[in-house]
Amino acid sequence: MNLKKLSKLFTRRKTSTGANITIWDEMEPEESAMVQALNSRSPGGFWKNLLLVIKEGAEKFMEKFYSKYGHKSIADCASTTAAFDDISMLAAKEVQNFWAYNGQETSTRYIDVTGLGYLDPLGTEQSKAIMERWFDFYKKSLEPTMAHLKIVRPKKDDEDESKYSTMIEKRAYDVLGSFLPAGARTNASCHMELRNWDEKLSYMIHHPLSEISSLAKETFDGLCERYSSTFIKKKVYEESENYRKDFMEKFSYERANLEYKNSYNALRKGFDFSTNFQHNIMLETHYGDLLESRPVKTDVPKIVNECGSYRIEFLIDFRSHRDLQRQRSALQRVPLLTYFYGFEEWYLEQLPEDVRNGALRLIDEQIIAIEGLDCNDEISQYYLAMGFKVLDVFTVPLADLIYIIELRTATTVHPTARKIALQMYSSLKDSLSNVKLDIPIYADESEDDFDIKRADQDLFIGDKRISEITK
């Protein structure tokens, strides 16, 4: 590390009270971590600590204090990014199944991803045929579905023609994406602190799906290569590894789908809301003014989470489950994708009649074909379309639930996810009805529409969409 060169990359400020501020991004993650870690043992401040790291090297510090002695907070000060291209939808969900995940994924709501292909773990003629039938239906149904949608939602006089066409195209992706199998390939990325990579991969490496366990192993090996002082010499405890392996064997996927076969009515038409706890007195006396005065587009402060927690069970298609799964403030189970709860009706209702009839035949035929595969329930997920419903179970505190409701009730949200968010809103209002406050929750209760704002959510370079440039 060259201090003179790096100094040009720092942004420095000094306050009126004599405090010194330094902002940086350009150091290697392990160097950045150690400069910060030295604060706990050195009064020198940033620049003196930086000189010490330059002199001694960050590797020695990370090896001694993180890898050998387990000062985990040091690795919280270093972060890195990994991109995962050509992985299945199932693998993308597992990468994202972590409270500290930050990243993005290719959106099937905005892009035709059939060009990325699919992952067929069985590799038989029968399994390949299942995948090809889903993809063929998607491709041949795209044009007639867009033509039908233009009839259902004609262009308004004041709407731009280009934006209208984009909106129709995206709506068609919304509909037909339900027929993509969970084995369809996608691209995702993740940015996390080194400590969180360590913790996430230590469980993910024991995942029952070989695609996912291999992804974890190769990622860990890549981190070992790049940040050897942090990862390679980390202590490994056999009892801990056995514990993680046992956990992943039992809890990688929630088997509630199978448990609920004999108690389907318990979900009360696919949605159930219960209150774990709600401190009405605290809401009224301690946070009343704070909650009642909150303006629109302003998050509820996290401290309000101490006032309530809720458990929500609902049926939702796997496609929209993928959207709601991004709300990592909620504690969530990972549902096993099956065909038990059926195919989400909304998708079928959006199709022209002849295409819908073909879709119904296809679904029945594909279920029979999937039943004939020689594989377990985890592997069969690859071959199931994302329009099949799963049972989601959320445990979420009050402030985070309000955030989810306000975010996911917007008309640009996928209709089947928006339906659940509106049910959350109604249920939360009922739960808060005994609280002597007028708590504003800024949900959008307007009617569903082909919202022209969908066209404005695309990304452009000049006048061309990113998806067109990068095909």
34 with 230: CB under 8 angstroms? no
Q: What is the pLDDT along the chain (471 residues), one digit of tens a residue?
A: 566 666 677 888 898 989 888 888 878 888 888 888 787 777 888 888 888 887 777 776 666 665 555 567 777 888 999 999 999 999 999 999 999 999 999 888 888 899 999 999 999 999 999 999 999 999 999 999 999 999 999 999 988 898 899 889 999 999 999 999 999 999 999 999 999 999 999 999 999 999 999 999 999 999 989 888 778 766 778 999 999 999 999 999 986 555 554 455 445 568 989 999 999 999 999 999 999 999 999 999 999 999 999 999 999 999 999 999 988 899 998 999 999 889 999 999 999 999 999 999 999 999 999 999 999 999 999 999 999 999 999 999 999 999 999 999 998 899 999 999 999 999 999 999 999 999 999 999 998 777 666 666 554 444 555 455 445
**Whose CA is closest to 100, among 191, 29, 225?**
191
**Whose CA is closest to 323, among 199, 414, 220, 259?**
414
- Angle of helix 125-152 relative to helix 353-371, nearest 10 degrees? 160
**Hey, what domains does the chain have and what are their CATH numbers?**
3-75 (no CATH), 78-108+184-252 (no CATH), 256-460 (3.30.1360)
347 with 175: CB under 8 angstroms? yes
pTM of the model: 0.89
For the chain, how far is it from start to end, CA to CA, in angstroms?
A: 39
